[in-house]
């Protein structure tokens, strides 16, 4: 039996200058989810981030937006997981993915970090890559030298719409993920 998801982490960078950037799509998704759940994030210094706890019949689900900047995201994830004794395989990390076409979604357990500094730090702090990832495609600028500027800038109107559509579709899979219906969620997320 699969473990249901108990923590959903949205990756991004704090600060107004990063709000609408590609690297913050994890924050976009969590903000939309909190809005749909009619709740609001509260800063929790002991978890190094903004946190929401939602009670569902199946159990509590935590949403966290690390406020540590991307390359220190693991500090927040590990603090929350250790405090509530939540296993890595009960954690879902929502992040931007360069290697996936803009607007596409991929869901998986474990794997490498693809050079993503947020994933790299979470793996280091949890001591394992075995957590779930919801990878929201942002496309690639085509040249490795352009990647940093690309992810830290706002997408154009067309790409922004594709990303927003992928966020909305992803949110529809959350009820499946919080009860451990991963295969069904994956089929839905990977469909066009």
Extract the annotated binding site. 18, 69, 71, 117
- Lookup: tokens for 187: 């089929």
In the three-class reduction of DSSP (H, G, I as helix; E, B as strand; rest coil), residue 152 is classed as coil
Q: How would DSSP label each residue in 40-72?
A: --EEEGGGTEEEEEEEETTEEEEEEEE-S-GGG
Cα–Cα–Cα angle for 174, 100, 69, rounded to 5 degrees: 70
Of the residues 3, 23, 140, 190, which is catalytic? 23
Least Cα distance to 20 among 163, 158, 153 occurs for 153
DSSP structure class, residue 103 = T
Q: What b-and-e string marks burial along 101-127, b requiring 16 or more CB atoms within 10 Å of the CB?
A: ebbbbebeeeeebeebbbbbbbbebbe
Place of tokens 């609001």: 40
User: For residue 43, which of 14, 16, 11, 84 has the smallest C-alpha distance?
Assistant: 14
116 catalytic, yes or no?
no
Name the residues annotated as catalytic.
23
């Amino acid at each position: 039996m699969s473990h249901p998801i108990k923590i959903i982490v949205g990756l991004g960078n704090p600060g107004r200058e990063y709000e609408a950037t590609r690297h913050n799509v994890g924050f976009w998704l969590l903000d939309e989810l909190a809005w749909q759940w009619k709740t609001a994030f509260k800063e929790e210094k002991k978890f190094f981030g903004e946190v929401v706890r939602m009670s569902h019949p199946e159990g509590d689900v935590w949403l966290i937006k690390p406020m540590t900047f991307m390359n220190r995201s693991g500090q927040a994830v590990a603090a929350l997981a250790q405090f509530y004794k939540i296993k890595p395989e009960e954690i879902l990390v929502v992040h931007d993915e360069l290697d996936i076409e803009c607007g596409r979604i991929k869901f998986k357990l474990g794997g490498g970090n693809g050079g993503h500094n947020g994933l790299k730090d979470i793996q280091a702090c949890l001591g394992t890559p075995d957590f779930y990832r919801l990878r929201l495609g942002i496309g690639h600028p085509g040249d490795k030298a352009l990647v940093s500027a690309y992810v830290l800038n706002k997408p154009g109107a067309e790409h922004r719409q594709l990303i927003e559509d992928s966020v909305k579709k992803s949110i529809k899979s959350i009820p499946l993920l919080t009860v451990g219906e991963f295969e069904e969620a994956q089929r839905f997320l990977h469909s066009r």
